[in-house]
Amino acid sequence: MKLKVLHIINSMTIGGAEMLLVNSLAPGGLNEHTENYLVYFQGGDYLSSLVDKNVKQICLDYKGGADIVRILRQIRKIIKDNKIDIIHTHLNPASFYVNLSRPKDVPQVHTLHIAYTTDFETRRELKFLEQKLFFKKEYCNLIFLSEFTKKDFLGNIKFKGQSFVLPNFVDDAFFKHQPKNYIGSTESGLKLLAVGNFRPQKNYFYLLEILKELKETNIELDIYGGGETAKHRQFIKDNGLKVNLKGQTRDIHKVIADYDLFIMSSTNEGFPLSVFEAMAAGVPVILTDIPPLTNIVKDNALYFELNNAPKAAYQLRAVLNSEVDINQLAVKAKLYAENTARREIYLKNLLNIYHTVLQH
């Protein structure tokens, strides 16, 4: 008899945590091994359509704080009515909302998707409630996306429960591409790609400052991601930058091979799916030298400083002029992604975590 797993996340809008969950529940994934139920507080038709048709989906249509009592009751009813064996939550406030509502005999495991101490986007009061109402419990079970994010959390937050490390994975479609073979020249230029919604941690204004240093070169940047972009567009226009804001795309795997180099200017990350998607597709990557990225990606990327736009621009000029060999880097990075970010590896380890939690 299959294990019954209830997956709960805040929303089904496109983001790293949401894509991880959806890809694990897509056809040929977790549903081959467990009976799965997906609950989300707010809807998103596109991501919902990617989930295996045998996964039961429920949108709670959450209206805000005043709606919390109904939400808690409904979650508890879903757990009881479907005789759920284990609950897997993602993001805050799903973490402690579920812990308030679940029956005591149904364990919960929660995935943290970012380095906790540098998560400045989650409201302070929500993090406080999470720490008081969930993390302090001895039965709290946490999944970290890397050893770095685990060490960051355990070194700063009082915690008595079980902890596991489970790296993210990349959709198989990205692995179908062959490594890039870039022949640098000022004439053909250098096509840069950045992927991620316009949130403070993505640090896109710094990326634009770097491109401002490169206006005289044949280096062009495309950014794929949703969110508020009015100020970014104005900056691009005012400074005459070779930057194109492409909006969100559902088919990044189809366009990723058109680019020579993937770039990320983030100030904080957990396990950045877009970086590993690029590596899996054979596109070399250049990233900010923040510990979460250097710890996860290791020597399979180029790195630039977080506060030195002229120096970062110099590094990109070196790539443009073939003073840096990014072709060997692309081959090496693709192999690294093959060994660390395949879906079957993730699912096998996730199932082991579920059984360990249940036995405990």
Q: How far apart, in whole angstroms, are the C-alpha atoms of residue 242 and residue 214?
A: 9
Asked whether the CA dihedral 258, 262, 268, 273 is positive or negative, the reply is: positive
Confirm if 310 and 213 have CB atoms less than 8 A apart: yes
The region, left, alpha or beta by phi > 0 then psi within -120 to 50, assigned to residue 61 is left
For the chain, the straight-line distance linking the first and the last C-alpha, in angstroms and rounded, comes to 20
The distance of Cα 107 from the centroid of its chain, to the nearest Å, equals 25
Low-confidence residues of the chain: pLDDT under 70? 185-187
Give the per-residue pLDDT at 16: 82
Give the per-residue pLDDT at 188: 75
Count of alpha carbons within 13 Å of 268, Cβ hemisphere only?
15
Give the per-residue pLDDT at 115: 87
Confirm if 44 and 17 have CB atoms less than 8 A apart: no
